[in-house]
Amino acid sequence: MEHEFQELLDLGNRIKKRDRISVCVAVVGVIVTILLFGTLYFPVGIVICIGALIAMFITSASLGKKYRELYKRTMIDRVAQEYFTNYEYLPDTGFKEEYLSSYGIMSFGSDYSSEDMLKGVYNGVPFTRADVYIADTTTDSEGNSSTTVYFKGQWLEIVPNKSFNTDLQIIQKGFGFTNRKKSIFTRKSERRHELETEDVDFNKRFQCLCQNDAEAFYLLTPALMQSIMNLSEILPYKMMIAYVNNSLHVLVDTHRDSMEPSSPKNGNFDRQIADLRQDMEIIVSVITGLLVDRNIYQAVE
């Protein structure tokens, strides 16, 4: 681990040095071109300079790709082991679109991607998380394209310690583009309806939709509702919680890709480590905040 960390530091320094060289080459190249070729052959000299710069940028891109791969292999392992046991990090793997859409809790458009899957265990609770991007791109009659982002953030799938048959969505106000299944065109056996709890403050912050009120209230205990409100105050992002098909899904709309390196900073990784810890602490906060590690879930017969 320490060998790879030092390799990452060295590679970061190489990239920074090469970027400086590229700038110098561009400036010196223009000056030399003017001095040697004058205005008559100036375009020829410029072409030569551009060709040299393109070659350097291609090399820099290759180094950048290597840096990203090494960062993900080194830095994320370095931070993840502080929080989780038996974890596995798969940087190029994510949730399949068909898999997530099958749960019927989010709207899906024309654009989808997912990566940076992390599987692990926290306080005895297995989880899988990945970055997910969902959007829809449309083109008007004049050929102008526009993209509406439905969701960009962390999608967590958690295995609770008790089985349940409940279909329940808990949507924080301001979290959009969910699939509520309220339409009359939805099959009646799968249709959800709104559910109000006795907690007025909770109802102001969240909208609940379910298929069966009695089943939903098995989960929506006063302790759980208070924990969800506490969690919404801890996390500076909008979220949706969904209990469906005997699994718990938590979508945290961070509006960014997590676990991505910033530009190399000559060995100063403090900010990047802090960002990675924040990403890991979202997972920890969700599991502890939703009381998933406690014996509160009741099997519904």
Q: Bridge partners of 210?
A: 168, 193
- The model's pLDDT over 66-125, given as tens digits with 9 standing for 90+, comes to 777 777 778 888 899 999 978 999 999 999 999 999 999 999 999 999 999 999 999 888
Q: Which residue has the higher pLDDT, 32 or 167?
A: 167
What pTM, to 2 d.p., does this model score? 0.79
Is 233:227 a contact under the CB 8 Å cutoff? Answer: no
Q: How many Cβ atoms from other residues are within 10 Å of residue 171's Cβ?
A: 21
> What are the domain boundaries of the chain?
2-80, 87-289
Q: How far apart are CA 39 and CA 37, in angstroms?
A: 7
Of the listed ranges 6-15, 59-68, 166-175, 282-291, the least confidently predicted one is 6-15
Is 49:26 a contact under the CB 8 Å cutoff? Answer: yes
pLDDT band per the 50, 70, 90 thresholds, residue 301: very low
Considering 21-30, 159-168, 273-282, the range whose residues carry the highest mean pLDDT is: 273-282
Q: Which residue has the higher pLDDT, 184 or 249?
A: 249
- The model's pLDDT over 21-50, given as tens digits with 9 standing for 90+, comes to 666 665 666 666 666 655 555 565 566 566
